[in-house]
Structure 1
Amino acid sequence: MFERILFPTDFSKPSLKVLDYIPALQEAGTREVVLVHVLDPREITLIAAGGQGFLGTVPDRETEVQRQQREEIQHRIIDIRRVLEKQGLEVTVRTPIGTPGAEIVTAADADGVSLIVIGSHGRSNLRDRLLGTVSEYVIKNAHQPVLVVKREAAAGR
């Protein structure tokens, strides 16, 4: 039923919690995973400016910080890909640049996935209510079913 799924990740604990659900999804027919990490232009600008944001200048050449960030992303993607491949899944990696929610929806459509499995931070503060979260955007705009994996609740909640 869910042969090809899309797994967007920002490498946070809530997004990586999706990995816990992969065996159950395989039982439901999952054979392929499209792994997506969206490079947000706002973060790229901050990194390019050496952490100074829009007040700094963007150098023409890759800085040491940019190189380290790029390598860190590559390593994390490779690590997740290996975990999925060890479980017998075919993995396609996408690293688009843009607004995370919109790029996730676009990737889901372009790759013809049957399900999007996304982690959620589960925050509900005013900022998130006004601006929306990535998972909320995906739920509202995706053309496929969306499975939201919530973060673990803190003890005592």
Structure 2
Amino acid sequence: MFQKILVPVDGSPTSKRALQEAIVLAKLTHAQVALVHIYTDIAYLVDEGYINYEELQKTVQLAGEKILTEAAESVRQAGLITQTKSISAGNQKIAQAIIAEAECWQADLIVIGSHGRSGLTRLLLGSVAEGVTRSSSIPVLLIRGTGN
């Protein structure tokens, strides 16, 4: 049985669907649920002459906090207790940051949404879910989006 379920959230419909599946599983197994939002440093996207980097980075962090707050409310409405964490990926890939947090928290399962990208989109953007699945020693439950 799973005792600790980690759910990465990004606010997308697929992420929300994964969260709902994690809630069902947690209720069945009486597991703890931890929510994590990973954000990247956007410094490489910023031209210093035109954009205030600190303000933009703060906006990214605040958006992540809002995503976590909404996800945590869904968990609480289901009668479960949760904890949340917002993490900067730094120079790591997002998948690696998710795995590192799951290992640190000693999760038994990672429940993550898969957007089902293919072709050029997948080549350009990569797949966080695929990266987690390939590299994690912790079991991973992939939840596909409804349109996939």
Give the shorter-chain TM-score range: 0.7 to 0.9
**Does residue 87 of the first structure (1) align with residue 78 of the second (2)?**
yes
Change (3 A) 1:85 1:60: same
- How do residues 88-127 of structure 1 correspond to structure 2 at under 5 angstroms? 88-98=79-89, 99-127=93-121
1:39 paired residue number: 39
- How do residues 8-157 of structure 1 correspond to structure 2 at under 5 angstroms? 8-41=8-41, 44-45=42-43, 53-54=45-46, 56-57=47-48, 62-63=54-55, 65-98=56-89, 99-129=93-123, 132-153=126-147
Change (3 A) 1:132 1:74: closer
- Normalised TM-score (structure 1): 0.79
SS at match of 2:29: coil
The CA deviation at 1:15 is 1.1
- Normalised TM-score (structure 2): 0.83
More moved, 67-76 vs 77-86: 67-76
Deviations 1:79-115 (A, max 9, x none): 1111112212221212221121000010110001111
Distance in 1, matches of 2:33 and 2:22, equals 10
The CA deviation at 1:13 is 1.2
Amino acid at match of 1:39: Y
The unaligned stretches of length 5 or more in structure 1 are 47-52
Change (3 A) 1:31 1:126: same
Change (3 A) 1:23 1:131: closer
The CA deviation at 1:153 is 2.6
Partners of 2:65 and 2:86 within 8 A in 1 = no
Distance in 1, matches of 2:53 and 2:39, equals 18
Higher strand share: 2
Partners of 2:37 and 2:86 within 8 A in 1 = yes
How many residues align? The count is: 144
SS at match of 2:11: coil
Distance in 2, matches of 1:72 and 1:131, equals 20
